[in-house]
A and B are shown apart, each in its own frame.
Chain A
Amino acid sequence: MTEPLTWAPVRNLGIYSRRSGSRKVIETYNDAYALSDTGAFIWSRTGTGATVADLAAWVAARYDVDEERARADVQGFLSELVSLGFLEPYPAADGSPAGSIRRPGELIPDELTAGSVCAFACPVPAAHPDAAVTVVVTDRRPELAGEAEVERSSTGPVPSYQVGTPDGGECTVQFWQSGQLEALLSRFQTSIPSQEDSQPESADEELLRRLVTGVPLAGDARFAEYRRALKASGYALWYAENHKYIAENNLEDVAGMLSVGDIESAAMTVYSAFTLALEARLALGWDLSPVREDFLARITAAPFSPLERDAVTTVLLWRGYLTAPRRWVDAAARTAEGLLIAVEQRWFA
């Protein structure tokens, strides 16, 4: 191979990549390509600004292969990806929750958690005082006056009640059976489900998010045990992959909309893809918050580089869209792709 090693591959718009069972595939509108393990590893590091030489060095570090062969194979593989239209060669770049909270302990009377396996609640942001929810994990049926609302979980119905709080407000209390919570946790413990498999309900996702960010109100040891089990599971990666899947669907649509000059729809769609990609990226650090208006504070708390932060802020605030819409859409798509690449890299973590 005599090609230079200094170009950096950039991904083309509208190319998906996803995990399907044990396979990693690249998809276009027409075709799917199954990647070998080495191929998937190289693909997961394209679009990051890494040059051919960088990729070859990573391959040689990870696999039992000498650098010379790694370089030749990486160059050959990237050329194939370029010829298929998945990548474009680019010259290497030079140089290369706000608001106050209420303590959850103030949310519900003690008798509601008496005899429970554990109970927990999340801090309530000042901007969303109506979001107060306490989860009680129990093995007995709740005996409360009033009609229960029933939340839909993939593990069966979950009764919930509105109760008055000691400070005069209201709080929703959900009663989960311990078996329900344990069944949910076990889905992500031994393997990570594919996106084709049946998906958790929104109540399930909310429960797991509360388990990550909640504060125990009763049964601290069991709460800690459940949280440890969750954090040792593949749930965050599944959640990130789920967002990635939808985001890439949107990015494929952006390419089509641009091809017919529908710039406004492309802008709305790329904004949606970007938002999902940002949530996917944040989820890798177990930030599963659904509060999108707080994105800037959330990325400040996450390990983003200053360059990444600038790129994210530009898209989030639509900076420059009205003066150069096409350029903004392209930049937003690139930013979204950059965020999604971090998800693929977790496949090899």
Chain B
Amino acid sequence: MRAPYSSPTLAISFGAGSDSSSTNRERMLASRQGTPALPTAADVFAAFEAFRPAVSMFMAGSVILGWGHGTSDIDLYVVLPEASGPIEGAYTRTASTTDPTMYIVLGQFGAFRADIEVWTHEQIHEVIDRFYGPPAARAADRTEQDLLNRLVTGRPLHGDRWWSQARTRITESSYPAWLVGRRLSRARSATDSAARWLDSGSAVPAVLAAREAFTCTVEAVLAAGGDYSVNRKWLYRRMQATPVPGLETDQAWRRLCLEGAEAAPADWTAAVLADCRSLQDGIASRGADR
């Protein structure tokens, strides 16, 4: 039996993600003309009363790094002194901390849409503290790694002292070394996998595994140079921004684009794995120098 019919329709709801009005939308579009202004702490407090007790707020992401474009969001982090209870309209996500709940709120500040992550002081320091403890305690999931990177590369909007102290605690902890080690471990696993695929005569999987090994190695090299980002989409920009001995950006880029891989997959895989080893040795020797 056929379903009952009504003519197809679209109903506009202004403001993707953040509910607003046609007036707000006009204001937002107007503010995007010229050089849009970044929000201030006062703008954030005016829009979100629940954030007033925040011990710190910082902005991060491509706009702050100068890599943004016309539709880039701002990533805003709000650090509350203690758990706030449910925040209206927020998504909840879980962290690995004792209090696992963190919130994501969507906001709009002038020209910019904002993804707002809400954490507590306790949660953030619980994650950092793991890197002042024994090796077995060291752990951060992807969301937490992203948080730590954003904190280090961000720009404070409120509570500068809190932000500065937390930033120093991260850079002086064992976190950078842990991150490098973790990426090297993933690189080694992908390298082993590439070798096994080659042994079994599977050229394309070997190439893709070698590319993954190379990507992980580049990420390890960058982490050793102070780039803790978890975001691969900016890898080319990150290689340009963090020069590392032995890593020439254009050559690395050609590896990532698989130049020559299809014509001679075994040779290409062997050459890429040799590059990985050389870069990994470079990290080890620079570590020994320090």
A interface list, Cβ under 8 A from B: 14, 16, 25-39, 41-42, 61-65, 73-74, 76-77, 80-81, 84, 98-100, 126-130, 152, 154, 196-199, 201, 250, 252-253, 255-257, 259-260, 262, 264-265, 267-269, 272, 292-297, 316-319, 321-322
Q: Which of A77, A81, A98, A196 contacts B91 (CB 8 A)?
A: A196
Given the interface pairs A31-B25, A154-B94, A260-B70, the reply to whether A296 lies near B257 with Cβ below 8 Å is no
The answer on a CB contact under 8 Å between B8 and A126 is: no
Closest Cβ of chain A: how far from B59's Cβ, in Å? 18
* Interface pairs A-B: 6 shortest CB-CB: A264-B236, A39-B8, A256-B69, A293-B208, A63-B5, A65-B5
Question: What chain A residues lie within 8 Å of B264 (beta carbons)?
Answer: none
B262 at the interface (CB under 8 A from A): yes
Assembled-state Cα–Cα distance A296/B207 (Å)? 12
The answer on a CB contact under 8 Å between B15 and A36 is: no
| Of B163-171, B189-197, B282-290, the one touching chain A | B189-197
| Of B175-183, B198-206, B219-227, the one touching chain A | B198-206
B:239-265 near A, CB below 8 Å: 253-254, 256-259, 261-262
Q: Which of B6, B94, B235 contacts A38 (CB 8 A)?
A: B6
The answer on a CB contact under 8 Å between A80 and B4 is: no
The answer on a CB contact under 8 Å between B236 and A268 is: yes
The answer on a CB contact under 8 Å between A74 and B8 is: yes
The answer on a CB contact under 8 Å between A317 and B70 is: no
The answer on a CB contact under 8 Å between A99 and B8 is: no
B7 at the interface (CB under 8 A from A): yes
Closest Cβ of chain B: how far from A336's Cβ, in Å? 14
B84 at the interface (CB under 8 A from A): no
Nearest residue, chain B, Cβ from A39: B8
The answer on a CB contact under 8 Å between B262 and A32 is: no
Q: Which of B4, B25, B70, B259 contacts A256 (CB 8 A)?
A: B70
30 example contacts (A-B, Cβ-Cβ < 8 A) are as follows: A28-B16, A31-B16, A32-B12, A32-B13, A32-B14, A35-B8, A35-B9, A35-B10, A38-B5, A61-B2, A64-B4, A65-B5, A74-B8, A77-B9, A98-B205, A99-B196, A100-B200, A126-B196, A127-B196, A253-B72, A253-B233, A257-B69, A260-B69, A267-B257, A268-B235, A272-B233, A296-B205, A297-B205, A317-B204, A317-B262
The answer on a CB contact under 8 Å between A127 and B233 is: no
Closest Cβ of chain A: how far from B218's Cβ, in Å? 12
The answer on a CB contact under 8 Å between B237 and A265 is: yes
B:1-55 near A, CB below 8 Å: 2-17, 25, 28-29
B interface list, Cβ under 8 A from A: 2-17, 25, 28-29, 67, 69-72, 91-94, 96, 113, 189, 193, 196-197, 200, 202, 204-209, 212, 232-237, 253-254, 256-259, 261-262
Closest Cβ of chain B: how far from A349's Cβ, in Å? 14
The answer on a CB contact under 8 Å between B69 and A30 is: no
Q: Which of B11, B197, B256, B258 contacts A33 (CB 8 A)?
A: B11
Given the interface pairs A130-B189, A268-B233, A322-B257, the reply to whether A38 lies near B8 with Cβ below 8 Å is yes
The answer on a CB contact under 8 Å between B202 and A30 is: no
Given the interface pairs A33-B13, A198-B92, A317-B258, the reply to whether A268 lies near B234 with Cβ below 8 Å is yes
Given the interface pairs A29-B71, A31-B12, A64-B3, the reply to whether A98 lies near B189 with Cβ below 8 Å is no
Closest Cβ of chain B: how far from A169's Cβ, in Å? 14
The answer on a CB contact under 8 Å between B5 and A32 is: no
Nearest residue, chain B, Cβ from A196: B91
Given the interface pairs A36-B6, A63-B2, the reply to whether A27 lies near B258 with Cβ below 8 Å is no
Q: Which of B3, B7, B200 contacts A98 (CB 8 A)?
A: B200
Question: What chain B residues lie within 8 Å of A262 (beta carbons)?
Answer: 67, 69, 237
The answer on a CB contact under 8 Å between A259 and B202 is: no
Given the interface pairs A36-B9, A293-B209, the reply to whether A259 lies near B69 with Cβ below 8 Å is yes
Question: What chain B residues lie within 8 Å of A62 (beta carbons)?
Answer: 2-3
Nearest residue, chain B, Cβ from A128: B193
Q: Which of A29, A64, A73, A152 contacts B2 (CB 8 A)?
A: A64
Closest Cβ of chain A: how far from B109's Cβ, in Å? 14
The answer on a CB contact under 8 Å between A127 and B209 is: yes
Question: What chain A residues lie within 8 Å of B206 (beta carbons)?
Answer: 293
Question: What chain A residues lie within 8 Å of B4 (beta carbons)?
Answer: 63-64
Closest Cβ of chain A: how far from B104's Cβ, in Å? 9
Question: What chain B residues lie within 8 Å of A255 (beta carbons)?
Answer: 71
Assembled-state Cα–Cα distance A292/B193 (Å)? 12
Assembled-state Cα–Cα distance A252/B196 (Å)? 37
Nearest residue, chain A, Cβ from B18: A32
Question: What chain B residues lie within 8 Å of A14 (beta carbons)?
Answer: 71
A16, A29, A268 interface centre (most CB from chain B within 10 Å): A268
Assembled-state Cα–Cα distance A269/B60 (Å)? 19
The answer on a CB contact under 8 Å between A198 and B94 is: yes
Assembled-state Cα–Cα distance A42/B9 (Å)? 10
Assembled-state Cα–Cα distance A325/B261 (Å)? 17
Closest Cβ of chain A: how far from B3's Cβ, in Å? 5
Given the interface pairs A260-B69, A317-B261, the reply to whether A39 lies near B9 with Cβ below 8 Å is yes
Nearest residue, chain A, Cβ from B212: A293
Question: What chain B residues lie within 8 Å of A253 (beta carbons)?
Answer: 71-72, 233
The answer on a CB contact under 8 Å between A63 and B3 is: yes
Question: What chain B residues lie within 8 Å of A196 (beta carbons)?
Answer: 91
Nearest residue, chain B, Cβ from A294: B205
Given A33-B12, A63-B4, A322-B254, 6 other A-B contacts at CB below 8 A? A29-B113, A37-B6, A41-B8, A64-B4, A74-B8, A265-B237
The answer on a CB contact under 8 Å between A265 and B196 is: no
Question: What chain B residues lie within 8 Å of A61 (beta carbons)?
Answer: 2
Given the interface pairs A64-B4, A250-B233, A321-B257, the reply to whether A256 lies near B71 with Cβ below 8 Å is yes
Question: What chain A residues lie within 8 Å of B14 (beta carbons)?
Answer: 30-32
Question: What chain B residues lie within 8 Å of A16 (beta carbons)?
Answer: 16
Nearest residue, chain B, Cβ from A201: B94
Assembled-state Cα–Cα distance A22/B70 (Å)? 31
